[in-house]
Structure 1
Amino acid sequence: MPRSPRDVPAPRRFGFRALCVGVALVACSSPQGELSEAPESAPTVSDESSPASAAVEPVASGEAEEAAPTRAEEAAQISTPLGHRVVRSGAIVYAGPKRRERRGRTEAKRPFAIFSVEPGPDCEGEGWARVEQGGFVCLEFAAASDGPPQIQPELADGQMLPFIYARPKILDRKTGAIAKVPRYQDRYALVRGDPPLDWLGPDRQYTFVRTKTRRAGLMLIDADERATPARDMKIAAPSVFTGRELAREPIASGLRPAWAVGRPAVLRERPEAAARQVAVVDYHAPLNIDPEPIVVGEESWYAVPDGAGAGTKAYVVAADMNYWIPGPELTEAKPDQLWIDVELGQQTLAVMRGQSPEFVTLISSGAGGTGTPLGLFRIYEKLAISPMRSGPNAEDPYYVDGVPWVQYFHRRYALHASYWHDDFGKRRSHGCINLSPKDAARVYALTTPKVPRGWNSLLEHTGDPGTLVRVRRGTDAVTDRRLPLGVIEEGQEGQE
């Protein structure tokens, strides 16, 4: 992982900043205070197709803080909005009508609800507006909007991701040569053959909102109407994988949910490599297995009930599948409490309700010397969309734009969507927990803190603490590594 811009181990109290996220193959970071801007609209196609918790005492500061409202108080204060506002670059949300404790940020160019307005220090114009989550926004640079606010990122019907993602093509993997791709002021400049506005960076994923086809060929159009020729760009084809809803696909007693990770996974009539093949299971297809391993020589196998037909078992080699391993009971979890359980050995994530799994899926965690930290954590910040980049002087510099559904749980580690690979079930990241786009959106919608409509980010606070996240390996116990509510620990995680 790259070093933090501030290589300081001391905790930061009530901080708000865009932090680093480890992503596939390389680590990443984002500059302090930077949040990506959403386009004016969700990706559209013009004339052709587009690609597809335990209570913790708040930490006292040097001065008395205003008491955070409870959920009941907040509900009483916030009912019908007074109106809606929009800020072009997004507005910082504070915990009170002063520029002090930051709580979140509204999305750029997107309306958000306000419920009252009052004068206050260091705020020109209309004054301070009370918003959701007990927050306040200075309306100095805000404009009136008809609303209504929308959940971010905004997705059209059937849309899986908020952008079209693409990067310059790798021309020669042996030499590392990457295409030099021009970017133009707009599509008309590209068609006219004007000099390019600039050139795309070689180690960066870019976001686009629509495509255009003209005599010049397919063009990628970004949120600022800049045009990039698509011929030397690799357009991402995001994974369509999604996990298993156990209420819809219940697992018989004594069996475990599993997925094929071989390409493909082969089922045989006996647990032997030379045995007759009876079926082939597509990549990422679900299986139900008997979790008792059958060891034959140096290989382990698992029985698949009905794998060779009704009432007839088949067998799959362990290397060709991953399965969910129940963890030790989390005694503090109440029967109706939702929490997240990540198991690194088999690369799985479960959405738990009390002690029972409701949804299970595959992940990609840290690989090699950049492992994902073990422990019991709490989601301390959520971002609908965030850019991610490598740190200063990184050996493999890169920039990944528009990463959706980001949930930080420890320092610079997060759960987030990965649109650049389909290797779920394999270790692939530099420490973060990669989820498929569909799974990332699902988990993000379930967890706390709840990011309001029209907002891009929110930090946990006493009125809305973050969801518990346990990261374990097998059934081994883990250390409770939660920090007091409102404390963000700076610095880098040691390699594990």
Structure 2
Amino acid sequence: MLRSPRGAPASRVCGFRPLVVAAALTGCSAPPGELLEAPESVPATSDERLPDEPTAESAVANEPAATTPDTAASATPIGHRIIKSGGIVYAAPHRRAERRGRTEARRPFAIYSVEPGDGCEGDWARVDKGGFVCLEYGTVGKGPAQIQPELADGQMLPFIYARPKILDRKTGAIARVPRYQDRYALVRGDPPLDFLEPDRQYTFVRTKTRRAGLMLIDAEERATPARDMKIAAPSLFAGRELASEPVADDLRPAWAVGRPAVLRERPDPAARQVGVVDYHAALEIDPAPIVVGEESWYAVPDGGGAGAKAYVVAADMNYWIPGPALAEAGADEVWIDVELGQQTLAVMRGQSPEFITLISSGAGGTGTPLGLFRIYEKLAISPMRSGPNAEDPYYVDGVPWVQYFHRRYALHASYWHDDFGKRRSHGCINLSPKDAARVYALTAPEVPPGWNSLREHTGEPGTLVRVRRGAEPVADRRLPLGVIEEGQEGAEEPESQE
């Protein structure tokens, strides 16, 4: 929102984006070897009991992807199945085949035929994307399958997120928070089951209020007292849809990143203040910088009222910089264009932007790599943690809308901060929850209903992602389809129990 200084009439409204203060934590990498492990933090959708799960056989080296066409795409399912911990999807009905993705834990997924195969005590089911799932640990589920993560009406994130409170920032003291077997054990005062780890975000599915106060309940029905937990307040920021909010050719879409950004009558810090632009509010600027002394300014048309320009310090604004044409993109192809200098992301169709927003990329010694990539794997929900021996360790549960494009670098939602427009990640590209869901829904590979993850494969390469700085060209760093680079997620993943 653009506000006038006290005592002056408001000259223009640019849209209000309220500031939300969230937990100060960053994260960008999935745990090694867990890219295809379904999280156990989702409530069951079936009351059927599943047998105890024996240790599964070790993973066998990948073989070339099967070229079975995705006949399931136009077929009618013959039923639905549920696998407690999620089922690995293979490109052929045997465990030596390429891994294509994974179904979501405790969620129904569609099957289209059942046939025998090697390495499975039960039958193999043909599923979406030309894939096959072993039904050894599967039970009948009630459909239809749902796109993951499932969100109730008006819900922005799949979980309640919280972490133990920081008690003293000077000493780094963090609350020691007990966790109980269930809410009844907490109310009775039973000994705790365990204690939560510090410096970690946890997911919860609901709250309960009893004599013991507010409790956070997780998917396993374990109860945690909320009094020593910092509950995340996710950012409400969302980007700009250019179809409904077009921008003149000589201007650029921009957002205020100052708290707040002050508009002045002239490009001079001593000039009269004519308005204020609220944090993350959208507006348009003239991108030609006006340099006065050691400071740069931008002109804001109508910022001082109809027909009257106002001026804002460049450091308080981020704006979209168009990049060079991408010859690799087809005329109607959707692709992602990330610009690190101004911390923006654009959803492009051909050579034209359709949606533009702010991001948070890598900071300090954990910069985001430049180049032209493809999204090689998408996950509806994934935990993320730092690599071994990291100087700044972190662990965050339940990160939604994750899209890996290079090694351990991904686009994903960040529910723990509202600093979009500023660098602050460990190398990944942070998006607000609304923007992450928006971008995830547009990109390939398209994760089927009831699945948690899908890798690009023959017939469905991942969406192009260009990461640039300004208008400088970048190197083509795409790998052949199906090739996993050393250090990239999924390269040495052990087979998990189904």
Structural RMSD (CA) = 1.7
Counterpart for residue 289 of structure 2? 293
> Does the Cα contact within 8 Å between 1:68 and 1:462 map onto a contact in 2?
no
Mapped to 2, the partners of 1:230 and 1:375 lie a distance apart of 44
Q: Post-superposition shift, 1:38?
A: 4.2
Which amino acid is the alignment partner of residue 66 of structure 2?
E
> For structure 1, which runs of at least 5 residues remain unmatched after alignment?
1-22, 43-60
User: Please, which runs of 5 or more residues in structure 2 have no aligned partner?
Assistant: 1-23, 46-60, 490-498
1:456 to 2:434 alignment: no
Q: Does 1:310 align with 2:311?
A: no
Report deviation, 1:24. Answer: 5.3
Secondary structure (helix, strand or coil) at the match of 1:443 reads: helix
Structure 2 partner of 1:384:
380
Match of 2:56 in 1: none
Q: CA deviation at 1:335?
A: 1.4
Q: Deviations over 1:338-387 (max 9, x none)?
A: 00000000000000000000000000000011100000000000000000
Give the distance between the partners of 2:120 and 2:313, measured in 1 at CA: 65
The reply to whether residue 409 of structure 1 matches residue 405 of structure 2 is yes
Report the counterpart of residue 114 of structure 1 in structure 2.
111
TM-score, reference length from structure 1: 0.88
CA distance in 1, matches of 2:27, 2:72: 41
Q: Does 1:231 align with 2:227?
A: yes
Within the alignment, does 1:35 sit opposite 2:38 as a pair?
yes
1:204 Cα deviation after fit: 0.7
**Cα pair 2:38 2:103 within 8 Å, conserved:** no
Cα-to-partner distance string for 1:5-24 (whole Å, 9 max, x where unaligned) = xxxxxxxxxxxxxxxxxx95
Q: Structure 1: which amino acid aligns with 2:120?
A: C
What is the alpha-carbon distance in structure 1 between the residues aligned to residue 411 and residue 115 of structure 2?
A: 37
Cα offset for 1:393?
2.7
**Partner in structure 2 of residue 16 of structure 1:** none
Distance 1:306 1:32, change over 3 A: same
**Pair 1:181-2:185 in alignment:** no
8 Å contact from structure 2 (residues 41, 220) kept in 1? no
Residue aligning to 1:352 = 348
1:89-128 matches, within 5 Å, as: 89-100=85-96, 101-125=98-122, 127-128=123-124
> Structure 1 residues 211 and 472, CA, compared in 2 at 3 Å: closer, same or farther?
same
Of the candidates 416, 420, 423, which is equivalent to residue 420 of structure 1?
416
- Which has the larger displacement, 393-402 or 96-105? 393-402
- Deviation of 1:74 after TM superposition, in Å, equals 5.3
Q: Distance in 2 between matches of 1:375 and 1:68?
A: 32
**1:199 and 2:195 aligned:** yes
After superposition, what is the alpha-carbon deviation per residue over 1:168-216, rounded to whole angstroms, capped at 9, x for unaligned?
A: 0000001000000000000011011100000000111000000011111
Helix, strand or coil: the match of 2:243?
A: coil
Number of aligned residues: 448
The alignment status of 1:440 with 2:432, answered yes or no, reads no
Q: Tell me the amino acid that sits aligned with residue 140 of structure 2.
A: A
Matched-pair contact (CA < 8 Å) for 1:86–1:142: yes
Tell me, yes or no, if the aligned pair for 2:447 and 2:453 is still in contact at 8 Å: yes
Check whether the contact 1:261–1:284 (CA below 8 A) recurs between aligned residues: yes
Give 2:326's aligned residue: 330
CA–CA distance in 2 between the matches of 1:391 and 1:167?
Answer: 20
Offset at residue 164 of structure 1 (A): 0.2
- Runs of 4+, deviation exceeding 3 Å: 23-29, 61-66
The 3-state SS of whatever aligns with 1:267 is strand
In the superposition, the TM-score normalised over structure 2's length comes to 0.87
| Percent pairwise identity | 81
Distance across 1 between alignment mates of 2:64 and 2:369: 35
